[in-house]
């Protein structure tokens, strides 16, 4: 295990609406779990599938006794959510890395808009708890397909910030659905927006709010999955430290091509959303296909997500 790896035990499981399992994880010896900040996630290892998956923390950052995650049983699962639903029974143990935070909350904002689509509400719940504790002004827009599929509803309705929550259901009249022109405030330097959910929902929110004048650096996003095209023309990758050069084929990835030569780049999400496989680039043009790097970071052309992005010609990596 690395320094940031530990084993946690499932202490409680709640079957919630919409095929969502709410899972609480505690230390094996009953000691406090590591502190985390709103927006953080855990990396969970699923041994039967030999994969890592990332799940946002929805518990209160002030809570020290346990972590809580919410996991949707996705019919289109690539193995992760189905495995968690199968294996995360009370008493089960999981290897965990984290918590780590690529989606931090700007606690100095004058007004915060939280937008959660489906299971993408999980980091928003932790953020809402933190903002409420700080006495900050915010609103949580929670969008689901139907009221009877809305997980966390009982907890949220009983919270001290219930009056700051707006629910939007796809199967109800159009007037109560999320209307970005109506529901999003005018742009200002002190207004920050956070969005997490299905890719289509996120792309719509991000493009609409930025087109309305909200600064890109004030529109924060976290993708929990993404549709990514891994195919493309062949290109060469040279590893400056090891001296190895490989050809990445039309249907291969940098990480897989290097692994065949014994050079391991750690990969977890395989979709360019978690940032685990970020690798420094010394030379070459990058065809970015990830959802992790910011536009400014992409323009620098010195980092690549090795699980999905490609080269426009030869790349030289610092590995």
The DSSP-derived string for 95-129 is: EEEEEE-SS---TT-SEEEEEEEGGGGHHHHHHHH
pLDDT at 297: 87
Average pLDDT over residues 288-317: 90
- Strands 138-144, 165-169: pairing is parallel
In this predicted structure, the answer to whether residue 284 has a pLDDT above a threshold of 60 is yes
Please state, in angstroms and rounded to a whole number, the distance separating the CA atoms of residues 283 and 38.
36
In this predicted structure, the answer to whether residue 290 has a pLDDT above a threshold of 90 is no
- Strands 51-56, 111-117: pairing is unpaired
pLDDT tens-digit readout, 40-74: 999 999 999 888 999 999 999 999 999 999 999 98
Lowest mean pLDDT among 3-12, 105-114, 211-220, 222-231: 222-231
In this predicted structure, the answer to whether residue 2 has a pLDDT above a threshold of 70 is no
pLDDT at 73: 92
In this predicted structure, the answer to whether residue 13 has a pLDDT above a threshold of 60 is yes
128 contacts 59 by C-beta, under 8 angstroms: no
Please state, in angstroms and rounded to a whole number, the distance separating the CA atoms of residues 297 and 260.
29
Q: Please report the domains of the chain, with CATH numbers, ordered by start residue.
A: 5-100 (2.40.30.10), 111-223 (3.40.50.80), 235-317 (3.10.20.30)
In this predicted structure, the answer to whether residue 19 has a pLDDT above a threshold of 70 is yes
pLDDT tens-digit readout, 222-243: 987 666 777 889 999 999 999 9
Nearest CA to 121 among 165, 86, 66? 165
Question: 134 or 242: which carries more pLDDT confidence?
Answer: 134
Lowest mean pLDDT among 106-115, 119-128, 160-169, 265-274: 265-274
Burial classification of residue 251, based on how many CB atoms lie within 10 Å of its CB (0-12 exposed, 13-18 middle, 19 or more buried): exposed
pLDDT at 226: 63
In this predicted structure, the answer to whether residue 205 has a pLDDT above a threshold of 70 is yes
Residue 276's pLDDT band (cuts 50, 70, 90): confident
Please state, in angstroms and rounded to a whole number, the distance separating the CA atoms of residues 194 and 104.
10
Sign, CA dihedral 90-96-102-107, equals positive
Residue 217's pLDDT band (cuts 50, 70, 90): very high
Residue identified by tokens 């949220």 is: 156
């Amino acid at each position: 295990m690395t320094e940031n790896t530990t084993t946690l035990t499932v202490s409680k499981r709640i079957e919630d609406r919409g095929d969502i399992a709410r899972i609480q994880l505690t230390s094996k010896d009953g000691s406090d779990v590591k502190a985390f900040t709103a927006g953080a996630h855990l990396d969970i290892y699923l041994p039967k599938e030999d994969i890592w998956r990332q799940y946002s923390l929805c518990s209160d950052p002030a809570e020290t006794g346990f972590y809580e995650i919410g996991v949707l049983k996705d019919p289109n699962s690539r193995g992760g959510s189905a495995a968690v639903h199968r294996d995360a029974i009370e008493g089960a143990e999981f290897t965990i890395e984290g918590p780590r935070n690529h989606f931090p909350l700007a606690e100095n904002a004058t007004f915060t808009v939280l937008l959660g689509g489906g299971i993408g509400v999980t980091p928003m719940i932790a953020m809402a708890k933190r903002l409420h504790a700080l006495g900050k002004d915010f609103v949580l827009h929670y969008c689901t397909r139907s009221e009877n599929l809305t997980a966390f509803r009982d907890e949220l309705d009983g919270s001290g910030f219930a009056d700051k929550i707006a629910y939007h259901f796809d199967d109800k009249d159009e007037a109560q659905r999320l209307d970005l022109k109506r529901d999003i405030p005018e742009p200002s330097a002190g207004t920050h927006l956070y969005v997490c959910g299905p890719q289509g929902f996120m792309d719509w929110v991000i493009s609409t709010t930025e087109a309305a004048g909200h600064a890109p650096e004030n529109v924060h996003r976290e993708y929990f999955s993404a549709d990514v095209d891994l195919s493309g023309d062949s290109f060469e990758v040279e590893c400056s430290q090891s001296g190895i050069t490989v050809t990445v084929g039309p249907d291969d990835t940098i990480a897989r091509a290097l692994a065949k030569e014994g050079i391991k780049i750690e990969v977890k999400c395989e979709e360019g959303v978690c940032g685990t496989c970020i690798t420094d680039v010394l030379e070459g043009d990058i065809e970015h296909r990830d959802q992790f790097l910011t536009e400014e970071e992409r323009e620098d052309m010195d980092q690549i997500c090795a699980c999905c992005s490609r080269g426009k010609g030869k790349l030289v990596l610092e590995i």
